Amino acid sequence: MINENELQQVIYNVLLMQIRFGAYRYGARLPTLEEASQLFLVSIDTVRAAYLSLKQEGYISLSRSVGASVRVLYTSEEIEQHIQAFYALRKDGLIDVSRSMRPLFSHAQCIGFQNASPETLDKIQALSSDSRLLPSHAMIRILQHIYGSLDNDLLMRLVWRIFMFFQAPFLSIDQNIKHFEEEANPLFNMIRLCRNKEWERLRIAVEDFQEQLSTALIGFCDKRIMMSPAGKQIEFHWYSYEKASQLRYSLGMEILISVNRGLYPAGSFLPSLDKLSKEKHVSVSTVRRTLNLLNSIGVTKSINGLGTRILSQEEIADNCDLTQPVARRRLLDCAQGLQAIALSCKDVAELTAASLDSEAICQFWQHLDLLKQTDRYELTAFSILKFFIHHAPFHAVRTAYAELFQQLMWGHPLRGMRTESEDLKAFYLPYLDFFAGCAKRSDFTGFPDKLEELILFEFKSMLEKLDVLGIPEASSLLF
């Protein structure tokens, strides 16, 4: 279960890094609790805990009149040592993340820009010109505005996590700020293209910017970072449920994955509360809250004296209780996960297909052929996504897709819902044959477009089902 990536620790690490890099010098004031809460998209309590840790370790002082201010005075040599040590341990992971930005976010960023109001574009332009803000702080506010119109909390959490890992350290070094100075800032060009509704040129500008940022990072590492790493390289990690209060969601997802894999077939019973508690290393209270969640979405039913039984697909609809906000929220997480995939799958498919060797292509074909032999046509898109989790060339892409794919498990109650127009075999078989043909010929021409088309269908179908279930919030998700 999740312990090492608590949000408090992430905020602490970022602020400590900015102090050690000299972005905050001796006597400089850190953002107030309220400012930092809005900036980092976390609660005031999370910021307060991070600040208290920094105070206890002697990095900052806290007072009612001044707030948080830096107590340590580093020399230029010490700052350079901090930068060298930080990047030496993260160089490979940072380069991997920088190369993952374009396939994961370019399309979503374009859609966010296209749906931004004139007022939002004005705010982005003002933030880009505000010399009073640290460039890293200005950038995260800009990202909040760009992605805000997508109304996708899950995607925003992924953007936030990658920002904390990559852009925040990069933009906390004076040498790298030149990429965002007014005369060279690519955001001004993007804003102008938005105002003129030049969408194709906007897409090119967004992709060029992602490539420029990656090239700048690689150049920075090659030219400046000379220190050898003091330990194992640190890779990018992301968990969508990072707070201790959200352990029940992570555990619920684990159980749903086991149900989908057939480890807990319909009619069987889950292990007892005590046994699950010991197996998953969580409290009995967390297990009980998890089972309440699974009961509310109709996947399980707790029976006094017997335990918690796995329900069949036919029983789920009668036992799903969407009056509970937590159940509605998890189904919305599923829709947001599929939207994030729909916005990136074309670029990820193109990237992955180009990287496959003959052995991987053979495995892909066999994987799809098995679907056909077992008449599981409706799993075509999801099987391909699962393949990406193992074969995408960049670790950050695999990590993001693994977590987004897991969010789709919350859609388990929707599997039994079919619209009148859905004839599974007639609809899915042409797609399955097309993808299998691409693999068999080792020719993936048209593969990315076809996959995006199929996942868009799955996304729209899910929104229709959620609307029928009385969850209209999903209709605000854009593509």
Give the H/E segment covering residue 46: helix 44-56
Distance CA 149, CA 114 (A): 9
pLDDT of residue 110: 96
* CA 389 centroid distance within chain: 13
Q: All domains of the chain, ordered by start, with CATH?
A: 7-70 (1.10.10.10), 77-224 (1.20.120), 244-319 (1.10.10.10), 346-476 (no CATH)
pLDDT tens-digit series, residues 100-116: 999 999 999 999 999 99
pLDDT at 270 exceeding the cut of 80: yes
| Tokens (6 digits) for 56 | 């206890």
Q: How many CB atoms lie within 10 A of CB 442?
A: 13
Q: Map tokens 């990069």 to a residue.
A: 170
Q: What pLDDT, in 10s, does the model give residues 326-342?
A: 888 899 999 999 999 99
- The predicted pLDDT at position 247 comes to 80
User: For residues 62 and 51, is the Cβ–Cβ distance under 8 A?
Assistant: yes
- Burial per residue of 169-198, b for 16 or more beta-carbon CB atoms within 10 angstroms, e otherwise: bbbbbeebeebbeeeebbbeebbebbeeee
Asked whether residue 71 carries a pLDDT value surpassing 60, the answer given is yes
374-397: pLDDT as tens digits = 888 888 999 999 999 999 999 999
- Contact indicator for 263, 279 with CB cutoff of 8 Å: no
Distance CA 25, CA 39 (A): 20
For residue 261, what pLDDT band results from cuts at 50, 70 and 90?
confident
479: confidence class by pLDDT, cuts 50, 70, 90: low
- Residues 229, 136 contacting (CB under 8 angstroms): no
Higher pLDDT, 243 or 158: 158
Closest by CA to 166, choosing from 228, 216, 117, 98, is: 98
